[in-house]
Structure 1
């Protein structure tokens, strides 16, 4: 009988903790703007799987409000949103955005763009503090889109600078250990550039990939991630890269054209503690090569397939574009030619597009 009551208490405790879970998402939505080929209905079908979503490559506040409106339409719940100002050193600029379900998450305070005194970041990170309405705990979300550049070395300086940014977050939001740094880092979590941050924070996704390759069902790079403090009170239930093309029934080509060239990451966690593993990224919860589950896109074993999707040339203008270039998806399909590297494009007398930075 005692065992029976213990089992009941454990089950009730599990249910109570599960009910306190909030799903946090991060998604590079590839030049999110209100334009005919951007499928907000499909984006919202995926985004509604999170209670809170950090958005990178936001091109206008109007687009973020359009997403919040579509989310409300599909879920029957009200969604709120806030956006940073446009950031970037050149004429090409991006914004960051946060969108959340009002019955699960509330904005607390502290929305701010990082004051980058050393001008290290091409696009300064954006952060704010929120509150879970499920358990009353507060949490901080910071988001960033690291410069892609021409090589991994171009990204390294910004990755290294994230260590100082992490310290700034801890000072700015003092007393709040539930800090999450998420976004598109254009760098895998095992790169040496992360060594400085490694003493304080760790990534939740260590395997798999989050960028769409040219081959349906295969993914290329683990560039997107969520970092948490090593002593965080956050209790992770699951953290997953979501295979949105499979979920929506889209080819990768169609997905890149109308949704994004990145898949979102969804973290389900008790933000004030509870069941689960503190800061865990369990093998069962992570993306794995060859996975059929839509939550687990495969890591590509075909490097050529990935690289061919990364550099897009225009045979009419003899200009090539990287995925981070504003006109990457503007190249007409009939004029597209794929290259496995920038060097390969230049060897064919293509030149880098003038709006790529």
Structure 2
């Protein structure tokens, strides 16, 4: 009888742990924008395999909104999204994006583009803190697209700079031991360039490849990855390169044309050992955050990125309907609503 009850308790424990698991992905979606040959239905069919997706090579906000809308349509569950501002040293710029299922994940706080004082990165990383609605555990996701450059040395310099960035993440989100750095590193985890990274960080993908080769069914380089702390509270159940061309029934040529030249990395994990989420987020910049929120609740805790219109003297929070309608020539950024009001700006009438 005791064995029977012990078996029941073990089964219930396993079920509870399984219920708390969340699925997280990272995907370089190769110049993601709304254009005729970009198949958002196919992308969403793959992306719905996870509850949260970090996107690299996002070209504009409209594309991220289109993906969130298509995910909502396909799953019957509402998805929210958030994007960074455009980053890059030249006229060519990219954005980073996060998209997530509202019934599983909630934006917590701390959306911030890295203050790259030494100009080490072509495209400064982007991060934010989120909460699992399954068990209340918080986690931090940082995403980066390392410069490919002309040779390995160009990539290695940015990989080396990730050591300082990793330390910055731990300092910026104190008390949170569930930090994940993910994206397209353009460098395999076996490269000596990683020797400079903080010894407490480790890659989850150690073998395989994530870029599509010219031969169907074969992949070339393990450029995409997820790094976590060696003593992280995250309990990894599985991690894989998801073979999306096979899943969608596409050739590699069709995949590169319609979707991306990268396959996503999908992680299934438990965050139940994470921090309770009451630690404050430190900022080392007077105006570090410039997110674009396109979901209903994604900006509820934002304290910066207030956008004013110099012509009308009206300001908009990221959750306001007209936030993205302010033209660049009339745009004024503020750290907070109080800062905007101190300059005699008034809240837009359609903000609630």
Q: TM-score, normalised by structure 2?
A: 0.77
Does 2:21 match 1:25? no
Matches within 5 A, 1:135-214: 135-214=135-214
1:114-147 CA-to-partner distances (Å, cap 9, x unmatched) read 0100001000000000000000011000000000
Once the two structures are superposed, what CA deviation does each residue of 1:245-281 show, in whole Å capped at 9, x if it has no partner?
000000000000000000001111111239xxxxxxx
Q: How much has 1:71 moved relative to structure 2?
A: 0.1
Matched residue SS, 1:219: coil
1:3 deviates by 2.0
Aligned to 1:38: 38
Aligned to 1:233: 233
1:68 aligned to 2:96? Answer: no
The residue that corresponds to 2:47 in the other structure is 47
Q: State the Cα deviation string for residues 196-242 of structure 1 (Å, max 9, x = none).
A: 22501100000000000000000000000000001100111111110
Which aligned pairs between 1:292-307 and structure 2 lie closer than 5 A? none
Tell me the equivalent position of 2:91.
91
Structure 1: gaps spanning 5 or more residues: 275-357
Instruction: Quote the Cα distance in structure 1 between the aligned partners of 2:7 and 2:152.
Output: 52
Instruction: Please state whether the residue corresponding to 1:27 is helix, strand or coil.
Output: strand
1 CA distance for matches of 2:2 and 2:186? Answer: 53
Matched residues in 1 for 2:264 and 2:272: separation?
23
CA distance in 1, matches of 2:117, 2:58: 24
Q: Is the 8 A contact 2:167 2:198 kept in 1?
A: no
Describe the superposition over 1:16-69 as per-residue Cα deviations: whole angstroms up to 9, x where unpaired: 000000101000000000000000000000000010000000000000000000
Aligned 8 A contact 2:166 2:198 in 1: no
Q: Distance in 1 between matches of 2:246 and 2:14?
A: 31
Deviation digits for residues 65-120 of structure 1, max 9, x if unmatched? 00000000000000000000000000000000000000000000100100100001
Counterpart of 1:4 in structure 2 is: 4
CA RMSD of aligned residues (A): 0.9
Determine which structure has greater relative contact order: mean sequence separation of CA pairs < 8 Å that are 6+ residues apart, divided by chain length.
2
